[in-house]
Amino acid sequence: MIQATFMSTLSEIFTGLNWIGLGYFLALNSIYLILITVAAINLGDYFRRKPFSGFQDALKSPVTLPVSVLIPAHNEETGIVESARAVLSLDYPQLELVIVDDGSTDLTFERLRDAFDLVEIPMLVPELVPTIGHIDSVHIAKGLDDVTVIRKQSIGQKTDALNAAINIAKYPLLCIVDADAVLDEDALIKVTMPFVDDPQRVVATGGAIRPSNGCAAYRGRITEVGMPNNWLARMQVVEYLRAFLLGRTGWSKLGALLIISGAFGVFRKDVIIDIGGYNQGSIGEDADLVARLHKYMRKNKTPYRIVFVSEPVCWTEVPESVAVLRRQRRRWSRGLLETLWSNPTLLMNPRYGTLGLLAVPYFLLFEVLGPIVELTGFVTLIVALIFHFVNFYFAGLFFTVAIFYGILLSILSIFIEEVSYHRYDKWRFLFQTIISALVENFGYRQMHAYWRLEGVIQALRRSDRSWGSMPRKGFIPSETT
């Protein structure tokens, strides 16, 4: 009798948990559906207005703000020269390139020295924002006024390298680019257009990030867009499309952009200095910087905008092995939790508008706590099936609804990409993205949830804060070579 009551109670608990799990999936995907819809409307508007955007004028204008492009590098010998060349050949009226070699143990500096004929100069580096690692030397390129390479001792943090670069940068806009990233020729002018259009209010902009695996490059320029050969990377193509391109476009339109990718973002230097630069020791330095920008501007009651521009593309290599991807995702998850943890006043605070009332609760509930709910949902579903607390038929329906909703969103993202940017122009690529959108739901997403959970645990234990570098394969050489 007691056992029957116990089993019945357990059954009710498990059924309840399954309903909560289903509710969670529906809520998460519905928010994504809203974001993708907002993004689609925004993209439509962007494309209609594009012929009149006047970025050709901005290229010719004597008052277009010059940009300091900052590249932090740690053991990046494979692609650093290519990245530097890509930056120098960008379409932009005036820019300088500052590369920070943060204690590399490979040939990063030597490659740069040989490529740009570097010469050491004596330089007083001001401490506009705090740095910890000692600057060993500053080098400039012979004959090129606007290439500076800093060699500094590493304290194992990207933020320290970035702060050192900010201290040396001479122009009013700072563009942060990852060392393995390759920008489209017009990416910089397009991502800085909001500063040209609305110089009083825009404090930061971010561009789109797309995986470069499978693309061909020549002298730091993507010459042919392709799909990766590796399925793990292909699934990331879909993920980047759904979450980064459309998700961020949606948040930006709602005035609640919390993350500008560390791989490609532009910031007003004066504001970055006012907030003290990057937070030393921060793992999710990109989200942390944007969160503090929001806080600073709101605190000073200064009207401001932080904008995501979906067209300019930064191509970056994504992990092709499970081990590296796991490390990356743990880092991201941990960085996000630490950002939210160190900026608690943002949560549910009407003073921060849609950011405080919508974006931050979303990131906390669905991005940080999400993996716990997702994994609990899967485990309880399996347990419930084993002990017959729910029947197979119901469980199958639960699972199918959750999975199908996710697939629908991915296919919708592919559809919007097809209508708008159409970057993957071969039929083969279209089929590969569609298959990836289907396959990612069986294994990849569950693994991803587990890695994110690991990141949350790491954040709570506050362990291991090193550079998030990953092995690079480099680009497929273009046939034009």
Complex with another protein: residue 62 or 344, whichever CB lies closer: 62
**Chain centre distance of CA 330:** 14
Residue 143 in the binding site for another protein (CB under 8 A): yes
Q: Can you spell out the DSSP letters for 268-306?
A: EHHHHHHTTSS-TT-SSHHHHHHHHHHHHHHHTT---EE
Residue 418 in the binding site for another protein (CB under 8 A): yes
Complex with another protein: residue 115 or 123, whichever CB lies closer: 123
Question: 3-class DSSP state for residue 183?
Answer: strand
CB of 393 to another protein, least distance (A): 8
Position among 1, 4, 5, 49 found at the interface with another protein (CB under 8 A): 49
Minimal CA–CA distance to 311: which of 45, 33, 54, 46? 46
- Residue the block writes with tokens 């569950």: 446
Number of Cβ within a 10 Å radius of residue 300: 10
Within residues 422-441, the interface with another protein by CB under 8 A covers 422, 427, 430, 434
Position among 4, 145, 344, 392 found at the interface with another protein (CB under 8 A): 145
Within residues 104-133, the interface with another protein by CB under 8 A covers 117, 119, 121-124, 126
**Rounded distance, CA 442 to CA 43, Å?**
30
CB of 305 to another protein, least distance (A): 14
| List of residues 6+ apart from 206 with CB closer than 8 A | 191, 248, 257, 259, 260, 261, 264, 265, 266, 307, 308, 309
Complex with another protein: residue 128 or 357, whichever CB lies closer: 128
Query: 392-419 vs 427-439: helix axis angle to the nearest 10?
Result: 150
Position among 3, 5, 62, 463 found at the interface with another protein (CB under 8 A): 62
CA distances from 186 to 59, 171, 181 (A): 10, 19, 14
Minimal CA–CA distance to 305: which of 193, 423, 181? 193
Complex with another protein: residue 332 or 389, whichever CB lies closer: 389
CB of 117 to another protein, least distance (A): 8
**Rounded distance, CA 95 to CA 90, Å?**
9
Residue 401 in the binding site for another protein (CB under 8 A): yes
Complex with another protein: residue 46 or 218, whichever CB lies closer: 46
Range in contact with another protein (rule: CB under 8 A) among 209-217, 246-254, 402-410, 440-448: 402-410
CB of 454 to another protein, least distance (A): 31
CB of 134 to another protein, least distance (A): 17
Residue 60 in the binding site for another protein (CB under 8 A): yes
CA distances from 460 to 342, 447, 464 (A): 12, 20, 12
**Rounded distance, CA 62 to CA 102, Å?**
34
Residues that bind another protein (CB under 8 A): 48-49, 51-52, 54, 57-58, 60-64, 117, 119, 121-124, 126, 140-145, 196-199, 393-394, 397-398, 400-401, 404-405, 407-408, 411-412, 414-415, 418-419, 422, 427, 430, 434
